[in-house]
A and B are shown apart, each in its own frame.
Chain A
Amino acid sequence: MKEESTKTKNKYLMAWYFLTIIIFYGVFKFGFPVIWMKIMGRDTLLPTPSTLMAWYMIMVVVCITVYITTSDLKIKCFVSLLVNNKSNSVLQSIIRIVILVIFPLWIGWMTFSSTSSSVASPTELRIQHPTLPQKFESLVNPFRHESEEKQLIAIEEGKILFQQNCRPCHGSKADGEGPWSNTFRLKPANFRDPGTIGTIVENYPVWRIQKGGPGLPDEATPWDSTMPPWEPDFTEDQIWKIIMGEYVTADVSPREPEVLHE
């Protein structure tokens, strides 16, 4: 009796095989985005990247194929579903026909989708933090050695310059939500995000403000950047003031330069 039941179950091995693949596909495609959204505490779904998706599916298929080929019996059971046998149950016949019909349709669909031209936008890879050019590396903020009072005045002047010139895109809160932030395709940087100006030394923004988008290296897609080159508009002192005002407005502080012991 027990043997009988194992045999009946095994006869559906191929059906279980495809069902497992479909279930795992569903989990990766629809389950993971929800799970990762919950874990990372985000508001939007985090879809599984298509290359990762392909790897996950390859792993799943390899694993269950290995399982099926562990014995001759399993292989036999696996293919036996395709054989028209008088002793087959109605369910077996239905599954058999469904598999036989779906396979060519699936091949046809694959051919169709690989030959049709899609209107997907091209992938644009972009390096967010290109390396600071050498000549900006050695700059020193002239206001850091001044008295506290003079620094406060410089910061306030810088905050005003920031509000006048940077606010339209980077926002009056320095959060990258200015009135024109949604207008251009590259969203302006959010300085309140601890991953932006909080992780760089003060010299870095001097380069970005003076040279703007057109001064970026090719890997940072300078052609798409709407950051103006402010060199013609401001003196170096004014730019230092803007940077100090920017850090205060964003409530973050610059990274301290590493000290080399001699």
Chain B
Amino acid sequence: MNKMQNILLGIILFAISFILVSNLEAQDASNGKVIFEKRCYYCHGLTGGGDGPVVPRLDPKPRNFQDAHFKFRTTPFNSLPTTDDLVRTITKGVPGTAMPFFSSLLSESEIRDVIAHIQTFNSRWQSEGPGKPISIGQEPAMTPDTINHGKEVFDKAKCFVCHGLEGRGNGPITNTLKNEWGFQFRARDFTKGWLFKRGNTVKDIFITITTGLNGTPMGSFADLLSDEERWHLAHFVKSLNRSQAPVTIVGGSIMVQSALIEGDIPLDPNDDNWQNLAVSTEIATGPQLMVQPRQWVPSLTSITVRSLFNKNQIAFLLEWNDRTGVQDDVFKDAVALQFPSKLKDGMKKPHFAMGGKGGSVNIWHWKSIVDEEAKKVGFQNVTEVGGGDNFVEMNAKGFKKRPTAQPDESQMLTGYAAWKNGRWQVIMVRDLLTDDAKDIQFEKNKNIPIAFASWDGANNDLGGRHNVAPWYYLLLITPESNTKFIFIGLAVIIAIGAELWFVARITRRLRPEKGFLNFEDKGY
């Protein structure tokens, strides 16, 4: 009887534990399903097809889990990623895309539940499972030699065909690139390290070169290049991360400084005065979302601004990376600066989006004019010199009305523009002071609000569809005059005089014969 009882008990316990364990496994994916349908489906779709309701407003498009092509893997090309790879992507998010970091919201076990659910969307997870992670080995030290060797590998492997000679993602075939689903695809701009999707450490870059990015033109170089060549190539790519991150990301100063220059303002952006005397500031630009037509999928991310002024004129050098330089009669590359028409006391300004009830704004607008000659050579070297029709001064008061160009006699803006190797360089020049009541007048050593906008013709930017940056401050800095050192000298001399007088006085008073220093006398 006892024996039977024990056996029965054993069977019951076994059955209970079996049910518990199998339930636990099932719980994984079903809990993941709940989270997926609360947090993920808006982009990735209810059935993981990458077709959620937000998709039309996303670039790049979200992953289609039914296809099971994953970009960020430590496993070989065309294989499935490990669970840890997916945990990393969900935890850290993907910079420059709509994929957020979930570390602040989901625990790791919740993230693993979601992954268990994602793995139900394609049968490959059952049939083949994740690939075997590549061996990463030891990262060699980065030296000028390894970078130079990396540059040789860059040329040998023809990376420039997509990524461009200076690494701005502007290679000759960049316009024709498409991903597996037929969407336009752009090669990475190596100069902007903060936008690297997997991450911008040498190891991250090495893994991308080795594993490739499934579903994109970026293949795996594991068979073509040796381990050492790939490490050195990663060093070279890392060395191209040369753009400063925008001040709003790294928390720098929001001042755009204008430096005083003796003599004429150079119209060559590579002039020593532009490169060394002028202070460069990287301004982040984002999509114009204030009013229709909105730009949901911007292609430009920042503008570098430098400024110089002399006795009569002020000039701005605006530079931004644009992979193509492509434009047509309708969609053109363009850039604009915006100032309040009148400086107000205090911090009051017109609204940054073309003014409004707080006042009108003065806009300096440059747009590229299609050059038939340049079109023939594939826009690799568009050059426009001098002012003319493409530099326009405008005024606006609110985005309900279109900005209006000033009459011809008020047009004072001139400049220079060129596109080369994936970068526009535009110089705008105007007199510091004008007779026009609707123009901004530049006063020295005063904070002048300045805002920015840019258009990418290849991304169908037009009118309201563009990139913007809100108000920053411009400051025309005059060098310190030498008279100030006279004041400092005077202050020091007076201080020494006062000090000597004081010491002399107390020395006299503290003479022993006066009894001042004679503590015992007074019975202290």
Contacts and interface: CB of A to CB of B under 8 A. Distances in A.
A79 B502 CA distance: 10
A79 B510 CA distance: 9
Which of A121, A122, A172, A178 neighbours the largest number of chain B CB atoms within 10 Å of its CB?
Answer: A172
Contacts of B470: 184-186, 224, 226
A40 interface: no
Given A76-B517, A172-B39, A224-B352, A185 B471 contact: yes
Interface string B94-128: 00111011101100000000000000000000000
Interface in B334-351: 347-351
Given A83-B507, A119-B477, A167-B98, A108 B495 contact: yes
Interface in A90-116: 100, 103-105, 107-108, 110-112, 115-116
B57 interface: yes
Interface string B407-439: 000000000000000000000000000000000
B248 A184 contact: yes
B519 A7 contact: yes
A26 interface: no
Contacts of B105: 173, 175
A20 interface: no
A191 to B, nearest CB: 13
A111 B485 CA distance: 9
B495 A103 contact: yes
A115 B100 contact: no
B502 to A, nearest CB: 7
B8 interface: no
A223 B524 contact: no
Contacts of A104: 492, 495-496, 499
A233 B39 contact: no
Contacts of A160: 42, 53-54
A214 B57 contact: no
A121 B290 contact: no
A183 interface: yes
B479 to A, nearest CB: 10
A24 to B, nearest CB: 24
The range of chain A's interface size is 35 or more
B487 interface: yes
Given A108-B492, A179-B96, A224-B352, A233 B292 contact: yes
A223 B286 CA distance: 16
B20 interface: no
A8 B512 CA distance: 17
B360 interface: no
Interface string A165-184: 00111011101011110111
Contacts of A233: 292
B43 interface: yes
B492 A218 contact: no
Nearest to A126: B347
Nearest to B96: A179
A182 B249 contact: yes
Contact of A214 (B54, B102, B356, B477): B356
Given A76-B517, A111-B491, A212-B290, A179 B98 contact: yes
Contacts of B494: 107
B7 interface: no
A178 B93 CA distance: 11
Interface in A172-215: 172-173, 175, 177-180, 182-186, 212-214
A198 to B, nearest CB: 16
Nearest to B398: A214
Given A121-B254, A184-B470, A232-B292, A173 B352 contact: no
A129 B244 CA distance: 34
Given A223-B471, A228-B291, A122 B492 contact: no
A228 B495 CA distance: 58
Contacts of B185: none
A185 B102 CA distance: 24
Contacts of B68: none
A154 to B, nearest CB: 15
Interface string B159-175: 00000000000000000
A186 B37 CA distance: 31
Interface of B: 39, 42-43, 52-54, 57, 96-98, 100-102, 104-105, 246, 248-249, 253-255, 257, 284-287, 289-292, 296, 347-353, 356-358, 445, 447, 469-473, 475, 477, 480, 484, 487-489, 491-492, 494-496, 499, 502-503, 506-507, 510, 516-517, 519, 524
29 contacts: A7-B519, A73-B519, A82-B502, A82-B506, A115-B484, A115-B488, A119-B255, A125-B347, A164-B57, A168-B289, A169-B289, A172-B39, A172-B98, A173-B105, A177-B100, A177-B104, A179-B97, A179-B98, A182-B248, A183-B246, A183-B284, A184-B469, A185-B471, A218-B358, A221-B347, A222-B351, A223-B348, A224-B349, A224-B471
Interface of A: 7, 73, 76, 79-80, 82-85, 100, 103-105, 107-108, 110-112, 115-117, 119-122, 124-125, 159-160, 163-164, 167-169, 171-173, 175, 177-180, 182-186, 212-214, 218, 221-224, 226, 228-229, 232-233
Give 8 nearest A-B pairs by CB, closest first. A183-B286, A107-B495, A104-B495, A163-B42, A223-B349, A111-B491, A108-B492, A180-B286
